[in-house]
């Protein structure tokens, strides 16, 4: 029975491209367009059709992790790209709509992130072995979207470009005080202190990140200008000239958006500038993949611009610039995936084969979503006073920039 139901669901789903599935009983069925070279999938667990019918996204990810579902040439990218393209085509897939409505109905519960829960959620992902992140991130451990001003840039160069692009939007002056919400392993704060002469307070809920960031500041001789604290951003007091947050807003949760931006407002001086860099969605508000919630980012959610804008308005902040990065994160994830695969033996020694399959699935699922389902990055600049920043973007792209770059 479950094979028949799954067969019907897949026939309704796959219109673009083609997939060929071998069921646990040995039956092979093809779905999608004729003439297309199919992605070939094999299921070996007799209970998997039932699981896929009842909870498709979690069952698919778990079956790949366990090796109960395999893809020819391990083309998980091809499978996920087909699934995403077909799931989000203009003509709605009835059974996908049912699941989406159920997820949206409970999303406020899933994203309720008071301080104690936020700490647990952060530990789930960011307190994994530090050696794991060394296997696929750049040397500065930038775990957010890089800025590929040139498609041929290395990951290191693109991450460096990201930091300086953000610094440009902060309009920094030596001696300014900067509050970084979600400091990661300290790379952005150290760059701002070293290259722009500012003082930085960075906060994180990850014990591992706090430890490494503090050690890095000491090693760089910047402990007098950079301070890292293990605390929730909501507990910080005082006011700052600048606020920056990179890749942290995805962990705030919709019920806390107004609280977040009110905190930004209250921590900014009257002429201060804030820059929030976050993954975003080009579609209306939605819900997080249940597999991502369970295994990768509990409590995480990618916001729609409309959700952010509504909270900014209510917090009394003035939006002074919004920039949208489209395929930059897809390219970043491609680099991360390739580096992880190249170092997978070391990852397997740290964890196990199931973890490695989970991490490959996570990185490819995210890349595919940025390439085929309208996920992007928002850089949202905001102030308390509209006069706090120049009237044009010329300060980011001065007319003499080509001449200066050629001279360098």
Residues 6+ apart with CB under 8 A from 385: 270, 271, 318
| Residue 107, helix vs strand vs coil | helix
Q: Judge whether 146 and 158 are in contact, CB under 8 Å.
A: yes
Residues 6+ apart with CB under 8 A from 216: 185, 186, 187, 190
β-pair partners for 203: 181, 229
Catalytic residue positions, numbered: 366
β-pair partners for 319: 382
Q: Which long-range contacts (CB under 8 A, 24 or more apart) does 353-359 make?
A: 353/67, 354/65, 354/66, 354/67, 357/64, 357/65, 357/66, 357/67, 358/61, 358/65, 358/295
Q: Judge whether 242 and 172 are in contact, CB under 8 Å.
A: yes
Rg of the chain over all Cα atoms, to the nearest angstrom: 23
Distance CA 59, CA 52 (A): 5
| Residue 140, helix vs strand vs coil | coil
Q: Which long-range contacts (CB under 8 A, 24 or more apart) does 46-54 make?
A: 48/24, 49/2, 49/3, 49/5, 49/6, 49/23, 49/24, 50/2, 52/6, 52/9, 53/2, 53/5, 53/6, 53/9
């Amino acid at each position: 029975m479950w094979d028949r139901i799954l067969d019907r669901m897949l026939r309704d789903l796959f219109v673009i491209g083609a997939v060929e599935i071998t069921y646990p009983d040995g039956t092979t069925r093809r779905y999608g367009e004729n003439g297309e070279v199919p992605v070939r999938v094999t299921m070996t667990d007799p209970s998997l059709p039932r699981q896929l019918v009842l909870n498709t996204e979690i069952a698919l990810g778990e079956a790949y992790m366990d090796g109960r579902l395999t893809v020819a040439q391990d083309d998980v990218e091809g499978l996920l790209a087909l699934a995403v393209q077909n799931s989000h085509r203009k003509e709605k897939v009835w059974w996908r709509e049912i699941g989406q409505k159920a997820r949206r109905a409970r999303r406020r519960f899933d994203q309720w992130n008071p301080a104690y829960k936020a700490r647990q959620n952060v530990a789930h992902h960011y307190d994994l072995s530090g050696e794991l992140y060394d296997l696929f991130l750049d040397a500065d451990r930038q775990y957010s979207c890089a800025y590929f001003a040139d498609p041929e840039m290395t990951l290191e160069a693109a991450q460096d470009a990201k930091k300086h692009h953000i610094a440009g939007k902060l309009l920094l002056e030596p001696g300014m005080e900067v509050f970084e919400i979600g400091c990661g392993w300290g790379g952005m704060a150290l760059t701002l202190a070293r290259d722009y002469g500012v003082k930085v307070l960075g906060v994180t809920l990850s014990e591992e990140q706090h430890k490494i960031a503090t050690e890095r500041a000491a090693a760089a001789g910047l402990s007098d200008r950079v301070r890292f604290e293990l605390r929730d951003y909501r507990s910080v007091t005082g006011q700052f000239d600048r606020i920056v947050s990179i890749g942290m807003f995805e962990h705030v949760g919709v019920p806390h958006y107004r609280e977040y931006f009110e905190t930004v407002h209250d921590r900014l001086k009257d002429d201060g500038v804030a820059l929030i860099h976050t993954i975003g969605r080009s579609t209306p508000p939605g819900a997080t993949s249940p597999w991502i919630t369970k295994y990768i980012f509990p409590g995480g959610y990618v916001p729609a611009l409309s959700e952010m804008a509504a909270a900014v308005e209510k917090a009394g902040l003035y939006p002074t610039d919004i920039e949208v990065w489209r395929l930059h994160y897809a390219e970043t994830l491609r680099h991360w995936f390739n580096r992880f695969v190249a170092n997978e033996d070391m990852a397997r020694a740290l964890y196990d084969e199931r973890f490695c399959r989970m991490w490959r699935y996570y990185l490819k699922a995210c890349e595919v979503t940025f390439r085929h389902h309208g996920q992007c990055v928002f850089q949202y600049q905001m102030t308390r006073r509209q006069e706090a920043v120049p009237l044009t973007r010329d300060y980011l792209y001065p007319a003499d920039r080509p001449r200066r770059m050629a001279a360098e």
